Amino acid sequence: MVVPVPLLVLSAFLLEPYRVETTQNTLNSMDASFCHGGLEVVYPELDVDKCLKVPTKLREKITMTWQVPRVYFTGAQKGNALRKGEIQGTTLTDYHQPTPPQNSGFHRYQFMLFKQPPDTLVSLTDQEKSSRGKWDLQAFITRFGLGEPVASVQFLTQNFKD
């Protein structure tokens, strides 16, 4: 008998500006290497299955129009809801669309999948609940013993008016 392993989907919005030294459509090696493990984030006209920069023509839609994306994990066991893009469980915080400030460069938006340790109730501190800008991702990972992500993907975007 196969025992399901609880998985935790975590999306992190890193708000520090990111200056791109290369062309508009390429990533540096650090950003390109972040993505691994078969995690896929799907918006209506954008399928993020590898690290990428959001094309200019889609930046307004990702900020102003599109709502919560579907998240798929190809590495999930057959029949697992996450394999079909159906996240189940407790929502710690609502999804917020990417909103990088104007003239601030590119920002990273990351989705990570962790194995949730058995019998571990994951929650946010009051400080984490109060603001996305006060989120200490590494402290959260350490507090719940999450270790390294099973899978991760990210996209970079900037304000659509830039």
Are residues 15 and 107 in contact, defined by beta-carbon separation less than 8 angstroms? yes
At 117, list the tokens: 């340790």
> Which residue ranges make up each domain of the chain?
14-107+134-157
What pLDDT score was predicted for residue 16?
46
At 35, list the tokens: 């993505």
Are residues 27 and 51 in contact, defined by beta-carbon separation less than 8 angstroms? yes
pTM given for the model: 0.82
What pLDDT score was predicted for residue 75?
84
What pLDDT score was predicted for residue 11?
59
Percent of the chain with pLDDT over 70: 83
The 10 Å Cβ neighbour count of residue 10 is 17
The structure tokens 């709502």 sit at 67
Is the model more confident about 70 or about 6? 70
Are residues 161 and 56 in contact, defined by beta-carbon separation less than 8 angstroms? no
Is the model more confident about 89 or about 10? 89
* Model confidence band, residue 136 (pLDDT cutoffs 50, 70, 90): confident
Count, in order, helices (H) and strands (E) of the chain. Answer: 4, 7
Three-state SS at 19: coil
For the chain, the average pLDDT equals: 81
Each residue's pLDDT tens digit, 3-28: 445 555 555 554 444 444 434 467 88
Furthest-apart CA pair in the chain: how many Å?
A: 54
Percent of the chain with pLDDT over 90: 30
